[in-house]
Amino acid sequence: MQEMQETRHSEEDHRNISGGGFRAAVFGLSDGLVTNVSLILGVAGAHPGGPFVRLAGVAGLVAGAFSMAAGEYVSMRAQTELMQRELEVERVALRNWPSDERDELVAIYVNRGIRQRVAEQLVDEIMADPELALETHAREELGFDPRAIGSPVQASVSSFFSFALGAILPLIPWLVGSGTGATVASVGIGAVTALLVGFLLGAMTGRSRWKSAVRQLGVAALAAAVTYGIGRLVGVGAGA
């Protein structure tokens, strides 16, 4: 009985993923891996020599990490500013027209199947606390929780370092070697990392771990194969 309760409790534990950091970290790691393994193999496919591949990989890592961090910051900043503006509009409405806001919230609950009298009692309790009223109206009318708007800086930093981590892994063989051996090692590292990222993502989202892992591997493999093939074609054409 105790084991069943512990299992149920563990299944009902929720992770806080609304702050932006988790999402940015996952996408950053995935994007860093796919982007740089594709770039490295694409350049390596043209057979320009180890130094050129290393240069391309390092450039892809640095440029991609800063690009991801900047993009994440700008998008999250715009999102938080929009949410804060909507919260201020709602705060003013609650202060100036509390009766209208009360009726709106009652109507929302009634439309969801709650009896009129019960909805009115519930809303009256909520409206008695200004902060609870603002939080509830934001959630029910605007569709977000004001306590979980997210941090642009957190998302940006998470995106930067996770992209850099994903991007540096397939580059490691080229920092210590070159040629076919480095190419094969990059493919191997990229494949294993893609599987691990997909497995982790499946575990965190509650989806099938292996399906998520195979899907992540398929995406990375397709991108890498296409860019490697293009590199081979361009390299052959340049050599001719």
If you write DSSP's letter for every residue of 129-155 in order, what string do you get?
SHHHHHHHHIIIIISS-GGG---HHHH
Mean per-residue pLDDT pooled into runs of 10, the chain (240 residues): 45 47 75 92 87 92 93 89 89 91 91 91 91 88 79 87 93 91 92 88 80 90 91 62
Give, in degrees to the nearest 5, the angle at Cα 227 between 203 and 64: 60
pLDDT at 5: 46
Give me the DSSP letters along 91-142: HHHHHH-HHHHHHHHHHHHHHTT--HHHHHHHHHHHHTSHHHHHHHHIIIII
pLDDT at 7: 44
pLDDT at 110: 92
First to last CA, the chain: 74
Structure-block tokens of residue 122: 């519930």
Which whole-number Å values give the CA distances from 47 to 65, 70, 157, 228, in the listed order?
26, 33, 35, 10
Q: Which amino acid is at 196?
A: L
**Contact indicator for 162, 28 with CB cutoff of 8 Å:** yes
Which whole-number Å values give the CA distances from 100 to 85, 104, 119, 124, 137, in the listed order?
20, 6, 15, 13, 12
Structure-block tokens of residue 168: 């540096």
Burial label, 186 (beta-carbon count in 10 A; 0-12, 13-18, 19+):
buried
Largest Cα separation within the chain, whole Å, is 83
Q: State how far the Cα of 56 lies from the Cα of 76, in Å rounded to an integer.
A: 29
pLDDT at 107: 92
| Global confidence as pTM | 0.73
Give, in degrees to the nearest 5, the angle at Cα 34 between 32 and 38: 115
Show Cβ contacts of residue 148 under 8 Å, excluding neighbours closer than 6 positions: 16, 18, 19
pLDDT at 70: 93
Write phi, then psi, for 13 (nearest 5 degrees).
Answer: -70, 130
